[in-house]
Amino acid sequence: MALPKPNLIHGLFIFALFHAVMPVLNHFGLLSIPGVPLGAKVIPVAPLQASMSGIIVIALLHKFPFGASAPPLSATVKISILGFVFAFFWGALFNALWPEWALARLLMRVAPILGAGALLYVLNRTPARTGYWIVLAIILQPLIHLPTLVHALVTSGGDAAVNWNKGPAGYPNVRQWGMLVATGFVMVLGGLGAWMSPSRLVKLSGGICLTVLAGLLFFSGTRAGVIGVFLGVAGVWLLRPNGIGRTIWLASVALTAGLLLSLWFEPPSPNYGLFNSMTRWTEGVDGRDVTSGRLTLWIVGAQMVLDYPLFGHGLDQLILFNPPEFKQHHLHNTPLQLLFDFGLVGGIAVMLLLATVWRRAIVAGRDAHDPAKAAALGGLLTLVAMCPFEDILYHTDLLATTMLLTAVLLSRPLASPSAKR
């Protein structure tokens, strides 16, 4: 007997809800493993992969043809895709030290990318309010997780067995958490700027969200996140000056209050806290440069690109070359990492493809009167702005967030309040 098709709207709501509570589920899932202390290892990405796979299944049950939800491909996009595919397989098969690892890591990125295409297909067949659910899920995720974080700080903040660097009780890494928080901050600001005549309750709620997110950002000590906030806000201001200008004062107050709020808790690790990060920035760490080793990584990475300049070393092979003192999987620079992995042919192809897609998404967000799309625009600009300082496309949660926001921006929801079933 054939299973009934899930309702698109209900399925999308469940997807958004699951995404919003995912770090909390990760945390309690880790606690359920006997003998494993909090933060002892990186949280598995299985829940995120399952979530993205779920939206793919829902779209497939509603006759989702892969590629049909995207606009017709231009010659530039087709050439970029062919260039990437050729460079990936050449690098993985002939240049990589561990070809199986390159293939496995590619498969990890398949679900977020195809999931974004499926989400775009679903959003195009549902009312505009469903886009708000995705935006709210991304914004509310760190806020819903906040009680879990506070509880962990109170009960385990001074426990030497807890590896806080692996992430605050449910996130895979403290820096990834900070970048997601930064993304949410600019999303709230962009959404408020596009809201026509917001009520006092909306302004108050937005101000509280901004203050808490700012506090979490400063508490995380994520310098790339702080840079991303300022660049993201500047980008939204340039693209939507009439809207964001009304909320700049609110952002200034929230950042100031958030900074003071972040000082309330003692950082559980030297990697947390704005002042710890600023000390690392001005004095360096362990004899490294003031970028905490990034400048050295970039120089070494740029030199290694020349070893296989056309097709690269293969996906995620850096850890096999890396000097032991760095212990890094990536170069903390997305464009440079793409050139290292895929060479000039594949790296430029990926960057050209992303530039084409993101340009369409940014134009859609610039011209939209929808607060959800304005918020998504702010989030995407923030993530793109952090690419020169972090591996935005190489961490599954950040990649998924980038793809989800892109899908929201490119979507064209039904004008009718009723959705196709």
Q: Cα 211 vs. chain centroid, distance in angstroms?
A: 20
What count of other Cβ atoms lies within 10 Å of the Cβ of residue 245? Answer: 11
Cα–Cα distance between 124 and 376 in angstroms, integer?
16
- The answer to whether residues 181 and 213 touch, using CB atoms and an 8 Å cutoff, is yes
For the purposes of burial, counting CB atoms within 10 Å of the CB of 135, is it exposed (0-12), middle (13-18) or buried (19 or more)? buried
Q: What is the identity of the amino acid at 148?
A: T
Q: Which of 407, 419, 309, 305 is nearest to 360 (CA)?
A: 407
pTM here is 0.91
Q: Which residue has the tokens 């690109």?
A: 305
List per-residue pLDDT tens for the chain, 421 residues long.
Answer: 344 456 889 999 999 999 999 998 888 777 666 555 555 444 556 788 888 988 999 888 887 775 554 557 788 889 999 999 999 999 999 999 999 999 999 998 999 999 999 999 999 999 888 999 999 999 999 999 999 888 888 877 666 566 676 677 788 888 999 999 999 999 999 999 888 777 888 889 999 999 999 999 999 999 999 999 999 999 999 998 876 767 888 899 999 999 999 888 888 888 888 877 766 554 444 445 555 668 888 988 899 999 999 999 999 998 887 655 456 778 999 999 999 999 999 999 999 999 999 999 999 999 988 999 999 999 999 999 999 999 999 999 999 999 999 999 999 887 544 444 4
Name residues whose C-beta falls within 8 Å of residue 162's C-beta, 6 or more positions apart in sequence. 37, 38, 39, 152, 156, 268
Residue 213 has a pLDDT of 97
Residue 380's Cα: distance from chain center in Å?
9
Give residue 114's pLDDT. 92
Residues 8/58, Cβ–Cβ less than 8 Å: yes
- Alpha-helical segments (H) within 68-167: 75-90, 99-123, 129-156
Nearest to 227 by CA among 183, 168, 285, 264: 183
Cα–Cα distance between 24 and 128 in angstroms, integer? 28
Whether residue 17 contacts residue 74, with contact meaning beta carbons closer than 8 Å, is answered with no
Q: What is the pLDDT of residue 158?
A: 63
The per-residue pLDDT for 296 is 81
DSSP string of 278-291, one letter each residue? HHHHHH-STT--TT
Per DSSP, the three-state class of 322 is coil
Residue 49 CB contacts under 8 Å (≥ 6 apart), including other chains: 108, 111, 396
Q: For 89, what's the count of Cα atoms within 13 Å in the CB-facing half-sphere? A: 5
* DSSP β-bridge partners for residue 90: none
Which of 188, 138, 113, 121 lies closest to 17, judged by CA? 138
Q: What gap in Å lies between CA 367 and CA 346, rounded to an integer?
A: 32
Nearest-angstrom CA–CA distance, 48 and 33: 19
Per-residue confidence (pLDDT) for residue 290, from 0 to 100: 53
Helix (H, G, I), strand (E, B) or coil at 127: strand
Domain boundaries defined on the chain = 11-23+45-410
> At what angle are helices 174-194 and 223-239 packed, to 10 degrees?
20
At residue 394's C-alpha, the angle toward residues 55 and 170, to 5°, is 65
Dmax of the chain from CA atoms?
A: 67
pLDDT recorded at residue 323: 57
> To 10 degrees, what angle do helices 129-156 and 200-220 make?
50
